[in-house]
Structure 1
């Protein structure tokens, strides 16, 4: 209310009241204009800046990575979330199923199938060997699991396809993984280089700057520039992350938006656990009419300091301290009463509160509370919906891993087979479309969880009848290769048919022998 309002209200109270009402209506209309409601009193102190992706992300990225790793190691829920994503995305490994586009290449189907079998057998032999790892510690499928976990924990991860000549090894291709911390700015970096990633003046990816060792291990390291692409236009450095903004150079840990919630939830759970333990330790309380200022509580929980122990009174209290054991008989002093201690721990609302927080955390991770905590206590429909929603999230992560890591490595492997003369593909090095057609591949991983396999099988049968799916798609969804299953079933049927014929001959002989006898 300004001076004019007061003056009008003094002369004509009714007009003054109407004036105030009209002003409130006007202010409400003004507040509700636009999406931001920037004049809303609740939001007027919310100061934000329209920063670029680099400004919003890179300034606090090192701190986010460190806190994310700390939560993974020390927070049970954070560790469970990241491991769940790793297990459901990669499982025991993503297996390649070559699907050469033989119509585009102009070759017959039988030749394409033979090439696919050769590539698949050679790739699996290489992938299962530690020779696929530059450090010779893991198989290719182990690298998938490690890379997935490192990516979601740190925000991004890097892989370098290398060529190493090793004694007794035909395939020179091997993969070196890099943790996110090793990609960093060199001293005196230009304005186009941030967080170890350099773009040219046209905004095209140019170089990655990689430290020779982890910066936390030693100060004696150097930073080298690696071109992002080679002469064939293929990537020298594979950068695995999930971008969220246009122009984003580096990934953000998946726990980034919920670090505070996870930390506070961990503190709350720890405090409740400590309180429950302390409550369980206290069996009874001794009430004394002649207790001093310190009282009996001075002997509970913490040792007496050295200064008190020097006094006669403290020694006397120490000697007369009441302790509890099985079958203990307590003899009290005159005026002392023993009172039962009523505990209120564990907190009866603890579970409900934790589950409510887990729902919010799961919503941010796109994983339902049931899947996150591996607890399915609701109805079948609710549990089924939770699994379906989570599976969609895991599929997104799987596709990112396939397209940014698995497929490029597979293409490098096929390239080496052609270069070594083990298989032939005319025009492979000259035409990108031929390379794509020849290296086309489907990656098969673990299938989604099923609460009722019979219902799922019936649904698949109905879709086959309606021609809305294929056996290959159903097999891939379940984590299997249809052609392998088909060949194995065919062999089984042949063996069963042979056994049936042999059994008929045996039965016929037994009957004839019985008649003759």
Structure 2
């Protein structure tokens, strides 16, 4: 058996044919391709040539143009600006709340609800005092509070596809903590250049203002000292760049650069509006033209048209050359309008006080409607707005504020799709940005001894041989674990959706914490307020009908919405 196997291995194998032939089903043609999308002989896509490029080669050469056009649309198009506000309002809302969730098992080796509750309440209270202070301590520019910074980050990400900020250490203005965030314009993140504008590359691993190590991780950022097109007097001094390390030696983050990496080895982000910028501009231009058309129609209530043969008239008047034609037209118009004025002026006919015009022979009278639509109508604009809404990630109804053709089911479906998109963006940008800022503050607060419930934990590893600092360890990761409560999901039918929330809680499918988070509320604060209100009612001897359990059960039963199906359908 082994000899036969050896003979089989030693046997020569014939070379494969040079080209594969399709079975003779349609004449034995040579196979040209398996995908219609790659057909180079189809007249509709023969000229469609899309070369393969790296992510940076696709994005970086055109990023400045795309960013500029996206900002222009946000400045000048109300629908696009409204879509950006929808992102902020549906992701962040009016107050971005911290919900501490420390990993107790990692810290203590067991569950300890008492310590966890103590830590959560202490950290959340002290964080809120600092982050929402009217002095805006959290902002290095002292302009925005924490919620405003997160809203700005969400808006910048929609505009440019990325967010850039620096962690500052301020000690000169009386702030209770030195941690502060400096938002950085994306245009300042660039490679250093000389006065001629040529790139000055310090390292082959440096692109678009970001320097990487051999594994592709960013290690430093080059930030220009001022915007390349800033307002103010012209400065002829050479521009300057500061190279800022991404982290401190012990792991504290110094630069915050967030974007969604669509492809490997992608250095910078690009706005999602890029795919729809052309349609957005066309929509904006079309809307302007439509308004101009309506204004023009409104300016003229009526028009008088003539059926006289213009070409014959010009020829008879000697309009052989352009100069002669121009003179003939002027003479004809002057004489014709004078004759019309004399003729019409004599025709003062009136019926019951209403004047009836007598027209010149060969003329007819047409009334013009100021409400006349453009050549394409409102359906064309709706299709363009749907295209824009898909690019921005919101529903057409939300973008256009048009709910006239929407019922409850379709509105709920569109809101659910928008909610899923907004939750993904919340985790990707808002939560990451907020968590990084919270970690920076928490590290300083623990080192300052301000967190009583965390004094027992060491948040740094011992320094390695030859190193001065030890890095942040898993204890700090466990202490800084958190969620964020953002914008309320919103309710279309409050009765139905409240009943659904109660059913989820009563059947163990959800918690009060989750349901109140959908409303943008902190469950601890709500429960404490309910306790205070109940105590005050008892002290004052107040008894509301809804507080009686039997009455509440009856009200819930009576308020149930009948079904469209089953033994007793509605209607």
Tell me the distance in 2 between the aligned counterparts of 1:185 and 1:333: 74
Q: More displaced, 369-378 or 273-282?
A: 369-378
Q: More displaced, 92-101 or 180-189?
A: 92-101
Answer whether contact 1:239 1:404 (CA < 8 A) is retained.
no
Q: For residue 319 of structure 1, report the CA deviation from its aligned partner.
A: 9.5
Q: For residue 370 of structure 1, report the CA deviation from its aligned partner.
A: 1.7
Are residues 1:162 and 2:163 paired?
Answer: no
1:125 maps to 129
Q: For residue 335 of structure 1, report the CA deviation from its aligned partner.
A: 4.3
Tell me the distance in 2 between the aligned counterparts of 1:140 and 1:202: 34
1:60 maps to 62
Would the alpha carbon gap of residues 53 and 35 (structure 1) be closer, same or farther in structure 2, given more than 3 Å must change? farther
Over the aligned positions, Cα root-mean-square deviation in angstroms equals 3.2
Are residues 1:360 and 2:387 paired?
Answer: yes
- More helix by proportion, 1 or 2? 1
Tell me the distance in 1 between the aligned counterparts of 2:297 and 2:512: 60
Q: More displaced, 49-58 or 397-406?
A: 397-406
Tell me the distance in 2 between the aligned counterparts of 1:172 and 1:461: 44
Answer whether contact 1:371 1:390 (CA < 8 A) is retained.
no
**Match 2:505 to one of 464, 468, 475:** 464
After TM superposition, list the pairs within 5 Å mapping 1:307-346 onto structure 2.
335=361, 337=363, 339-343=365-369, 345-346=372-373
Are residues 1:427 and 2:445 paired?
Answer: no
Are residues 1:33 and 2:34 paired?
Answer: yes
Tell me the distance in 2 between the aligned counterparts of 1:283 and 1:128: 58
1:184 maps to 190
Are residues 1:436 and 2:477 paired?
Answer: yes
Are residues 1:209 and 2:225 paired?
Answer: no
Tell me the distance in 2 between the aligned counterparts of 1:234 and 1:321: 87
**Match 1:175 to one of 169, 176, 181:** 181
Tell me the distance in 1 between the aligned counterparts of 2:429 and 2:161: 13
Are residues 1:400 and 2:428 paired?
Answer: yes
SS at match of 1:159: strand
Q: More displaced, 138-147 or 384-393?
A: 138-147
Are residues 1:228 and 2:246 paired?
Answer: yes
Answer whether contact 1:171 1:416 (CA < 8 A) is retained.
yes
SS at match of 1:225: strand
The alignment's TM-score, normalised by the length of structure 2, stands at: 0.74
Are residues 1:379 and 2:407 paired?
Answer: yes
- How many aligned residue pairs are there? 466
Answer whether contact 1:241 1:250 (CA < 8 A) is retained.
yes
Are residues 1:418 and 2:410 paired?
Answer: no
Q: For residue 167 of structure 1, report the CA deviation from its aligned partner.
A: 3.8
SS at match of 1:488: helix
1:250 maps to 268
Q: More displaced, 359-368 or 177-186?
A: 359-368
**Match 2:107 to one of 91, 105, 108:** 105
Q: For residue 351 of structure 1, report the CA deviation from its aligned partner.
A: 1.2
Deviations 1:292-350 (CA, angstroms, capped at 9, x unpaired): 89x9xxxxxxxxxxx99xx999999999999xxxx997977854745113558213852
SS at match of 1:131: coil
Name structure 2 gaps, 5 residues minimum: 1-23, 194-199, 314-325, 342-352, 462-471, 545-571
Name structure 1 gaps, 5 residues minimum: 1-21, 296-306, 504-517
Tell me the distance in 1 between the aligned counterparts of 2:278 and 2:422: 24
Are residues 1:196 and 2:197 paired?
Answer: no
Q: For residue 117 of structure 1, report the CA deviation from its aligned partner.
A: 2.0
Q: For residue 244 of structure 1, report the CA deviation from its aligned partner.
A: 1.5
Answer whether contact 1:93 1:145 (CA < 8 A) is retained.
no
Deviations 1:172-195 (CA, angstroms, capped at 9, x unpaired): 111100121110011312321111
Tell me the distance in 2 between the aligned counterparts of 1:373 and 1:272: 17
2:7 maps to none
Tell me the distance in 2 between the aligned counterparts of 1:279 and 1:243: 50
1:72 maps to 74
SS at match of 1:375: coil
SS at match of 2:390: helix
Answer whether contact 1:200 1:206 (CA < 8 A) is retained.
yes
